[in-house]
Amino acid sequence: MEDQQPEYNEVAEQLGVHSAANQGSAIANQNNQMQYQMEQQEQNLAEAQLDCEDTLTRIYHLLKQDVLRVTNGFSDWVAIEDSKKRILTEEGVDRIMQIMYSYINKETLLSNFNDKQIPQRMLEFSLALSALIFMKYEVYFRTPTLDECKEILKLRISEKVKRKMITCEILNVQSDETQIKKDVLKEVEGRIEYELGKIRQEQTKLNLREFEMIFVQLKALVEATHNRAWKGEERGSLRRHFNISEVIGGKSPQTQQKKGWFGLGG
């Protein structure tokens, strides 16, 4: 029995070491998993903070005058029912979106602008965009088709006939709607082409009146993007968050800086 005691103790020690090793491995695996989850959260945060697609998508729908509808608790963009009410042409929407992609992006967010650069860049943007629209408004703003102008003219003729009928009714004068319509048509008989052109100009001017508000909205979004990059604040915000996460995760910020803030070599 005494001869077996050392062998028993040796086996017990080996079992204890093996158990401790397994426990240490489990803890290490758990720590690695927690660290991986934390790194994924950091990456997701960085991607979400620098993602401009939601803003650009919203700009696109607003330029097309789509309407945001809520159905069964879910919101979705719906195309405008009457396409004749659209202000911009497809080419106008596409060109403005190209410009917005050039200003609203992660490269701008991660820039480092000082107090003089942001106003200067905004002035250049404002002058360039307004000049572009002014020089090509006939291309970027929608003008009604001749068929649309015809419908508007027919509606105006119908309204004029109704006004004359109401006038006769108020004056207690006998009226003949058919005759009144003939008289009204005779009045515009020689100037139908002129009236169609006039209607087209009027409707185009109505669309152009929307330019100032569209311009102000776009300028505000571009300026907001630039302000986030004032003195590198966007980069600083990400760096501060990563510092806090690394301290919580047990790594020093210096180690993370050597590795790179986005998992790339510094």
**Would you list the DSSP string of 80-136?**
-S-GGG--B-HHHHHHHHHHHHHHSSHHHHT--B-TTHHHHHHHHHHHHHHHHHHHT
CA atoms within 13 A on the CB side of 130: 12
Identify the pLDDT of residue 41: 54
Question: How sure is the predictor about 11, in pLDDT bands with cuts at 50, 70 and 90?
Answer: low
Flag whether 186 is in a domain: yes
What single-letter DSSP state applies at residue 64?
T
Flag whether 165 is in a domain: yes
Identify the pLDDT of residue 47: 63
Identify the pLDDT of residue 45: 56
Flag whether 154 is in a domain: yes
Bridge partners of residue 246, in order along the sequence: none
How far apart, in Å, are the Cα atoms of 143 and each of 45, 71, 85, 87, 252? 45, 33, 10, 8, 62
Q: Is the pLDDT of residue 263 over 50?
A: no
Q: Is the pLDDT of residue 21 over 70?
A: no
Task: Give the span between the Cα atoms of 222 and 102, in whole angstroms.
Answer: 10
DSSP 21-45: HHHHHHHHHHHHHHHHHHHHHHHHH
For residue 171 the two structure tokens come to: 């004056």
- Lowest-confidence segment of 91-100, 122-131, 206-215, 245-254 by average pLDDT: 245-254
CA 185 to mean position of chain CA atoms: 49
Flag whether 150 is in a domain: yes
Identify the pLDDT of residue 3: 55
Question: How sure is the predictor about 175, in pLDDT bands with cuts at 50, 70 and 90?
Answer: confident
Neighbouring C-beta atoms of residue 81, cutoff 10 Å: 8
Identify the pLDDT of residue 17: 56
Q: Interhelix angle for 53-63 vs 90-103, to 10°? A: 160
Asked if residue 157 lies in contact with residue 189, where contact means CB atoms within 8 angstroms, the answer is no
How far apart, in Å, are the Cα atoms of 196 and each of 144, 162, 200? 10, 21, 6
Q: For 239-256, how does the pLDDT look when each residue is reduced to its tens digit (9 = 90+)?
A: 665 554 554 455 554 554
Task: Give the span between the Cα atoms of 30 and 250, in whole angstroms.
Answer: 14
Flag whether 173 is in a domain: yes
Bridge partners of residue 88, in order along the sequence: 141
Identify the pLDDT of residue 207: 92
Question: How sure is the predictor about 114, in pLDDT bands with cuts at 50, 70 and 90?
Answer: very high
Identify the pLDDT of residue 244: 47
Flag whether 94 is in a domain: no
Identify the pLDDT of residue 16: 60
- Lowest-confidence segment of 47-61, 81-95, 133-147 by average pLDDT: 47-61
Task: Give the span between the Cα atoms of 118 and 221, in whole angstroms.
Answer: 13
Identify the pLDDT of residue 68: 87
CA atoms within 13 A on the CB side of 45: 17
Q: How many domains does the chain have?
A: 1
What's the domain range around 178?
146-206
Asked if residue 139 lies in contact with residue 90, where contact means CB atoms within 8 angstroms, the answer is no
Q: What is the mean pLDDT of residues 29-40?
A: 56
Flag whether 81 is in a domain: no
What is the average pLDDT value for the chain, to the nearest integer? 80
